[in-house]
Amino acid sequence: MTFLDMLRDASAQNNSMLCVGLDPEPTRFPAALKGDARKIYDFCAAIVDATADLACSFKPQIAYFAAHGAEDQLERLMQHMRANAPHVPVILDAKRGDIGSTAEQYAKEAFERYGADAVTLSPFMGFDSIAPYLAYHGKGAFLLCRTSNPGGDDLQIQRLSSVEGEPLLYEHVARLAQGPWNRNGQLGLVVGATYPQEIERVRGIAPTLPLLIPGVGAQGGDAVATVRAGLREGGPIIVNSSRSILYASGGEDFASAARTEAERTRAVLEAARP
Ligand SMILES: O=c1ccn([C@@H]2O[C@H](COP(=O)(O)O)[C@@H](O)[C@H]2O)c(=O)[nH]1
């Protein structure tokens, strides 16, 4: 089954455009787990179990595991998601980008070591840095396009005067992803909920690509404006929320509080459907 098939089925089964982000930070764990990086798996598995019927996808951010030397716990978590939420695709947020030979190793890490269904990538080094991921047929690859952070302006809204029509850099990325780079239909784009107008612009350029949209919740992005700007027939959106779900409660009830916040966010997104 391809990533896109899984996404469509999970979205329908769970009636959801919500991606639950897994950014485990031990200092924010409840008292029984607090500060203990060996408990990353336990914390994340509890969140997965509490939200598996509410999410269209899960998105572990690899830095939160690697920073603690917890890659083995990420492997166990991936196996846990496969066993306990087999219908929910997993997007590994790794934002990789390197020359082809190194990209081959990163692709192997994402798809063979961790068994991810999709990965996030930086397009900055060009198509040959993306191609190794596309060799894994059916896997998804989301290119950073118009990111949610303020510093994205430094490059992404600069005008490319050498390209016909003088698009902005993020618009050029969207065109490449919708067109010549999307050789096997595996590409999607990352656009931030903090910039709904740009989501709409990207959707105009890339009408059929799945959009991975972080930035609601802790970053203050507008969930309703995001859905209206990005969701189209044949153009799915995946709206990520991490910290506001993971840390909805700092107490022992963290998993049930995460479920309540995921339910609330899912409902807001569904109510905004055009
Ligand atoms: O433009 C981007 C791309 C990726 N991210 C990632 O999404 C989550 C957001 O976490 P919140 O706690 O919901 O703010 C995090 O893993 C980022 O690395 C992004 O925020 N913006």
pLDDT digits (tens, 9 = 90+) for 99-129: 999 999 999 999 999 999 999 999 999 999 9
Query: What is the CB neighbour count within 10 angstroms for residue 252?
Result: 12
Atom 3, ligand 1: residue with shortest CA distance: 147
Atom 11, ligand 1: residue with shortest CA distance: 242
Index of the ligand 1 atom closest to the CA of residue 240: 13
Give the pLDDT of residue 150. 97
Name which CATH class applies to 3-271. alpha beta
d(CA 149, CA 144): 12
Mean pLDDT of 225-229: 98
Q: Is the ipTM here above 0.95?
A: yes
Pocket test for ligand 1, best of 58, 95, 148, 213 (most atoms within 8 A of CB): 148
Give the pLDDT of residue 274. 86
Q: Give me the active site residues, please.
A: 95
Index of the ligand 1 atom closest to the CA of residue 217: 13
d(CA 150, CA 171): 17
Pocket test for ligand 1, best of 59, 242, 245 (most atoms within 8 A of CB): 242
Sign, Cα dihedral of 107, 217, 74, 83: negative
Examine the pLDDT at 164 and tell me if it is beyond 80: no
Give the pLDDT of residue 161. 85
Index of the ligand 1 atom closest to the CA of residue 219: 14
Q: Which residues line ligand 1 (CB under 6 A)?
A: 21, 23, 61, 93, 147-148, 190, 192, 214-215, 217-219, 240-243
Give the pLDDT of residue 248. 98
Pocket test for ligand 1, best of 239, 240, 241, 247 (most atoms within 8 A of CB): 240
Mean pLDDT of 253-270: 98
165 C-alpha to ligand 1 centroid (Å): 31
| Sequence ranges of the domains in the chain | 3-271
Give the pLDDT of residue 106. 98
Report the mean per-residue pLDDT for the chain: 97
pLDDT digits (tens, 9 = 90+) for 29-88: 999 999 999 999 999 999 999 999 999 999 999 999 999 999 999 999 999 999 999 999
SS3 2: coil
d(CA 3, CA 188): 11
Q: Which of 256, 238, 236, 231 is nearest to 246 (CA)?
A: 256
